Chains A and B, each alone.
Chain A
Amino acid sequence: MLELRYRGSCPSPGEAVSPPPREGEAAGGDHETESTSDKETDIDDRYGDLDSRTDSDIPEIPASSDRTPEILKKALSGLSSRWKNWWIRGILTLTMISSFFLIIYMGSFMLMLLVLGIQVKCFHEIITIGYRVYHSYDLPWFRTLSWYFLLCVNYFFYGETVADYFATFVQREEQLQFLIRYHRFISFALYLAGFCMFVLSLVKKHYRLQFYMFAWTHVTLLITVTQSHLVIQNLFEGMIWFLVPISSVICNDITAYLFGFFFGRTPLIKLSPKKTWEGFIGGFFSTVVFGFIAAYVLSKYQYFVCPVEYRSDVNSFVTECEPSELFELQTYSLPPFLKAVLRQETVSLYPFQIHSIALSTFASLIGPFGGFFASGFKRAFKIKDFANTIPGHGGIMDRFDCQYLMATFVHVYITSFIRGPNPSKVLQQLLVLQPEQQLNIYKTLKTHLIEKGILRPALKV
């Protein structure tokens, strides 16, 4: 959405034209036009004696080529350039939102696949930027190793999730049992194999470059894979924990842009000169209201509210349950000043709506920092967009940069304030213990439950 603000409020054909030639230039030319901060890279590369050799072999990836489908181009051919951009962006935004709704309708499994697909694409985009920055497209093994590490880390995380949520399914199959039991060891062995391959692939003239790409891969994994894993965990808590945060961030983007467009005056941060305080504050209030309303609408349906479970008999995901107290209407007494305004004594709210205020606040206040981080990153590496996947918007990362911190926050919020640890995970770990330990724990638990009155001593349930 950053580009939208750029383009929509200040169309500057010069801006659109100048980056491509700069990126397209040879490395030497690049370094001449860059600011002092990039001379450091120049020296580094010289020490690793890389650029001068591999310039001509770089496949040019033009980041700003026009990928708009022909049909749109024809339909909008009559409009001026500024409005054409506006329309393309608008249409693509609506397309993305409707495909989002469609996938929600199709269910949690499709959502999981979507999240996985997005993660892989984000990883690919960031790694490609790394290749271009370091002109390392032809490094031996490196592309293989990056994807291999992605696979390892995904295997580790999804193995942990699968073991928790598919406990019943897993208990049945023997091979899966073995994989689950020694999961950490297997993941570690896989990672080690990749690590040793990296060490063995170090080539004399390219040491520094290879280390850079190794570090780049790991930081990218840290950012994309952990976030997507936490998104899936939130999803399993209940689709509402997935939908409300993501929609709040999207809403904040759109409303901050609109408020900035109509009322924007005071610049917010030097890093993104088109952002304004009016947009920021207006976006904050509208996102809180939006979150409040969306939470109210979604809390009614079991489909959104119930934790996703895997039923072995049906062999699919079901979302059926008794909604927890969070999602049952309760009456709250209004504080006096609101009483005077609304002329009501009490109001019926879902407790979840109170939580949604916290989520929307985070989305509006801290979420933009993820956007600033991505902005700074793009400026640092002199790219306009992460990639060119979505016409008019840039890459997938451009759309998801603000979501970056949101998933972690929601996960931490849920584990701290909403629920404790996952019961099925506790059970699974209990069953893995030694029998004597199990007996000890059983006795401790029994005393505890009797004390609390949850278990009555005389009754054998």
Chain B
Amino acid sequence: MTELRQRVAHEPDAPPEDKESESEAKVDGETASDSESRAESAPLPVSADDTPEVLNRALSNLSSRWKNWWVRGILTLAMIAFFFIIIYLGPMVLMIIVMCVQIKCFHEIITIGYNVYHSYDLPWFRTLSWYFLLCVNYFFYGETVTDYFFTLVQREEPLRILSKYHRFISFTLYLIGFCMFVLSLVKKHYRLQFYMFGWTHVTLLIVVTQSHLVIHNLFEGMIWFIVPISCVICNDIMAYMFGFFFGRTPLIKLSPKKTWEGFIGGFFATVVFGLLLSYVMSGYRCFVCPVEYNNDTNSFTVDCEPSDLFRLQEYNIPGVIQSVTGWKTVRMYPFQIHSIALSTFASLIGPFGGFFASGFKRAFKIKDFANTIPGHGGIMDRFDCQYLMATFVNVYIASFIRGPNPSKLIQQFLTLRPDQQLHIFNTLRSHLIDKGMLTSATEDE
């Protein structure tokens, strides 16, 4: 959304910006080091117009500024509608979409690396980057699948072996990639190859771990996936609106179009939005229940008894608000309290992800990560603020909502030695008796 603010708020700057990026691209091409790559590394035109013909014709009579506004607006609505459709389609489709977004983000960042280092023709390197992506994904998805599809995995013999030795297999695959990298080092290109190796690993660290955590959150309950993402999107849009109408004081030198008014207005608007959204969503089981894999029907089900978080409770309103609204108590879902924490993070710390991406684009003198979405840039441009949100939600859930996963614990327990199992069982038993959950009498059942 930074590009949107930049373009519309200061239209005269737009053409010079384009010129600047084009001249950079030219200089990029001219000063390419390897004589072979001079002819071949045509700089990717980041600011080419990718708008579909339909839109172009429909908006042809408007001025350039309003045309941009409309293109962005239409694409925004298209993306939001798409989001709703895939939510309707269910968790499996959501997982696949997350995976595709992750692959596209990885592709975009790696392509930038290639452009920066003119390394498109390095031997092996494209293969190795995609191979490492595959390895890390295999490792992470293997861990998730083992947890959530436990019964399915135990049934099928090949899957059982794969899951038992999962870490070893993943490590071996990674090692093969590492050895291939070492063997592919070519005399004149050492530094470049190491840079690309480092670039690939940092990208994997950012992109793949985040998407893995997003899937984890999704399995907790679709509400843990939808509310954070919507809060970040809402914060983007609201901060832009507030900045557009009331913006005066610049926020940070890194993004000169952001303002304090937009930041604070976006914060309050997002908190309110989060409260409303969680109120609406907490009523429905399909959002609130953990996603489970049902062995009999061989599909995902979201059916359960909603936990305490999602049951209406009475809260006493503090005196201050009582006098304002005239209510003594209010009925809320406890989850709405948590949503305040999530929205606060989305508004206060989420933008730092955006600043990080802004700084990255300035550092490498690119205007957008790629040109996938007309008017908006690449997929990374849309997801830069989400970067930290997924990690935060995951850490929040693990720390405050639930403890470790019970089925995973049972699974780990079953792999222990019998004497260890007995020891743990007895400790648990004495612990439960202490807590009064068990009495010696009930042991006879």
Contacts and interface: CB of A to CB of B under 8 A. Distances in A.
A240 B356 CA distance: 45
A207 B431 contact: no
A430 B199 contact: no
A438 B428 contact: yes
Interface of A: 35-44, 47-48, 181-182, 184-185, 188, 192, 195-196, 198-200, 202, 204, 207-208, 210-211, 215-216, 218-219, 222, 269-271, 366, 369, 372-373, 376-377, 379-381, 405, 408-409, 412-413, 415-417, 420-421, 423, 426-427, 429-435, 437-442, 444-446, 448-449, 452, 454-455, 460-461
B410 A441 contact: yes
Contact of B425 (A208, A413, A416, A446): A446
B437 A199 contact: no
B426 interface: yes
Interface string B168-184: 10010001001101110
A432 B440 CA distance: 22
Contacts of B400: 185
Nearest to B354: A199
Interface in B209-257: 252-254
A47 B365 contact: yes
B168 A433 contact: no
Contact of A35 (B175, B188, B409): B188
Interface string B28-57: 000101100000000000000000000000
B362 interface: yes
Contact of A426 (B116, B187, B424, B432): B424
Interface string B127-139: 0000000000000
Q: What are the 4 A-B residue pairs with the smallest beta carbon separation, nearest first?
A: A380-B190, A207-B363, A420-B415, A39-B33
A408 B415 contact: no
Contacts of A423: 416, 420, 423-424
Contact of B254 (A202, A426, A430, A438): A202
Given A184-B399, A199-B254, A429-B403, A372 B410 contact: no
A38 B195 CA distance: 11
B258 interface: no
A369 B182 contact: yes
Contacts, number: 199
B300 interface: no
Given A379-B190, A445-B413, A218 B205 contact: yes
Interface stretch (B151-159, B370-378, B387-395): B387-395
Given A210-B359, A222-B201, A432-B403, 11 more contacts: A36-B188, A40-B117, A192-B349, A202-B359, A417-B168, A421-B416, A430-B409, A448-B414, A454-B421, A455-B422, A455-B425
A166 B3 CA distance: 51
Contacts of B167: 412, 415-416
Contacts of B360: 207, 211
Contact of B426 (A41, A196, A271, A461): A461
Given A35-B188, A426-B409, A449-B422, A373 B399 contact: no
B388 A222 contact: no
B205 A438 contact: no
Given A44-B116, A195-B388, A426-B413, A204 B253 contact: yes
Q: Main secondary structure on chain A at its contact with chain B? A: helix
B404 A429 contact: yes
Interface string B402-442: 11101001101111111011111111110110010110100
A342 to B, nearest CB: 32
B198 interface: yes
B396 to A, nearest CB: 7
Contacts of B175: 366, 405
Contact of B171 (A182, A211, A219, A409): A409
A421 B412 contact: yes
Nearest to A220: B198
A454 B332 CA distance: 48
A452 B202 contact: no
A87 B117 CA distance: 44
Contact of A441 (B398, B409, B421): B409
Contacts of A421: 412, 415-416
B355 interface: yes
B420 A416 contact: no
Contacts of A438: 428, 431-432, 437
B443 interface: yes
B420 A452 contact: no
18 contacts: A36-B33, A37-B188, A185-B395, A199-B355, A215-B202, A218-B202, A269-B183, A369-B178, A379-B190, A421-B416, A427-B428, A433-B404, A435-B432, A435-B435, A437-B403, A448-B414, A449-B425, A460-B443
Among A38, A40, A405, max chain B CB count under 10 A is at A40
B179 A442 contact: no
B194 A376 contact: yes
B70 interface: no
B116 A377 contact: no
B146 interface: no
A199 B421 CA distance: 48
B440 to A, nearest CB: 7
A35 B359 CA distance: 30
Nearest to B411: A421
Nearest to B351: A199
Contacts of A210: 359, 363
A36 B253 contact: no
Among B185, B426, B427, max chain A CB count under 10 A is at B185
A5 to B, nearest CB: 17
Nearest to A437: B406
Given A41-B191, A369-B179, A420-B412, A199 B205 contact: no
B277 interface: no
Contacts of B191: 37-38, 40-41, 380-381
